[in-house]
Structure 1
Amino acid sequence: MGFHTFDIERAEALEDAGRYRFCSREELLGALEPSPADVVADIGSGTGFYTDEAAPFVERMYAVDVQSEMHERYREKGAPDNVEFVTAGASSMPFDDGELDAAFSTMTYHEFAEDEALEELARVVRPGGRVVTLDWSRSGTGDDGPPVDERFALGDAVDAFESVGFSTVDGQTRKETFIHICTK
């Protein structure tokens, strides 16, 4: 039930440090639990705001976005040396089975939350691998992020991930967002 992609004309908003009020660097890293040998993908990486935060802690980081224009903006900004750009949708990622140790998405789940994308994540994340999803919550006010009718509840994400073989490690609903951590 993905609704839209982020408007490239508003890409500069993706670099606003105010985004940390919804997910800090420490929260993302704590949920992701990266190790130096990991191969990780940021699904819906945009201009690399959160990709930049995780990249120093892993061997290889894939910035996955359906919009090549987002990659162009990220390249202009400058990306860490271990970041590789992948222009693809979440339902058709060019990774081998079990290639990823982990994947995460920040504020993009509502854009790709379809069976095909979740099945693809189940294919590309190795057994024991982790997926961290932080997104706008249906129970939020709608003052920030997409309209409430384009959002999901934590329970929706839990059900969707568990239906393709992931196990929930933790999940929390906050004022505007939810975080879901699961393993394969």
Structure 2
Amino acid sequence: MGFHTFDAERADKLERTDRFQHLSAEELVGATAVADDDTVLDIGSGTGFYTDVLAEVAERVYAVDVQPAMHAYYRRKGVPESVGLLAADAGALPLADDSVDIAVSTMTYHELPDGALGDLARVLRPGGRLVVVDWTSAGTGSAGPPLAERFDAWSAGAAIDAAGFTVRRTESRRETFLVTAVR
């Protein structure tokens, strides 16, 4: 993990609705099983494209991104009232232990720094859910990061399991993978 982050100067590319072909809004909501009283953590939230999907359902969403420029873009776009922006490294989250019901990483697992999974386990409450969707190394590389910077579903699942989660679902698709887990 820990490859370069997405270029904030190209942030407008993160707002294209064709991104839903790799992870639809319905699939994200279904995989997270988000409810209206949940607190959600969106790691690598970028422009808030998927954060907005979660904010339509959850009581509170923390949008975490290491790049302040991404939050600036999100502010210009319009941040929902239920979303709090946190400029932070995913390996050092400024949240209390056991304070989050759900954590998601959409198309950013390959960017996470070492220690991020451990910190996610720290902030997720016992029984809390983790959903990771990212570009798979089994893909063609026609979209997303270079193949050399990607992981496959099973190695991601093994790392998530080793960080203290119980993996519930591991799925490889044409260009992406999905892993769901419980703390």
State the TM-score, normalizing by the size of structure 2. Answer: 0.98
AA of the residue aligned to 1:65: D
Aligned length: 183
Q: Distance in 2 between matches of 1:98 and 1:152?
A: 28
Q: Distance in 2 between matches of 1:126 and 1:40?
A: 11
Q: Distance in 2 between matches of 1:107 and 1:136?
A: 6
Q: Residue 93 of structure 2 contacts residue 119 of structure 2 at CA under 8 Å; is this kept in 1?
A: yes
Q: Which runs of 5+ in 2 are unaligned?
A: none
RMSD: 0.7
Q: Which runs of 4+ in 1 moved over 2 A?
A: none
Pairwise CA distance, 1:38 = 0.7
Pairwise CA distance, 1:93 = 0.5
Q: Distance in 2 between matches of 1:46 and 1:24?
A: 17
Partner deviation per Cα, 1:2-56 (whole Å, 9 max, x = no partner): 1101101110000000100000000000000011111101100000000000102
Q: Which runs of 5+ in 1 are unaligned?
A: none
Q: Distance in 2 between matches of 1:171 and 1:154?
A: 6
What SS class does the counterpart of residue 73 from structure 2 fall into? helix
Q: Residue 91 of structure 2 contacts residue 113 of structure 2 at CA under 8 Å; is this kept in 1?
A: no
AA of the residue aligned to 2:4: H
AA of the residue aligned to 2:123: V
* Structure-1 residue corresponding to 2:85: 85
* Structure-2 residue corresponding to 1:179: 178
AA of the residue aligned to 1:98: D
Which runs of structure 2 are paired with 1:99-114 in the superposition (5 Å)? 99-112=99-112, 114=114
Q: Residue 135 of structure 2 contacts residue 144 of structure 2 at CA under 8 Å; is this kept in 1?
A: yes
What SS class does the counterpart of residue 49 from structure 2 fall into? coil
* Structure-2 residue corresponding to 1:129: 128
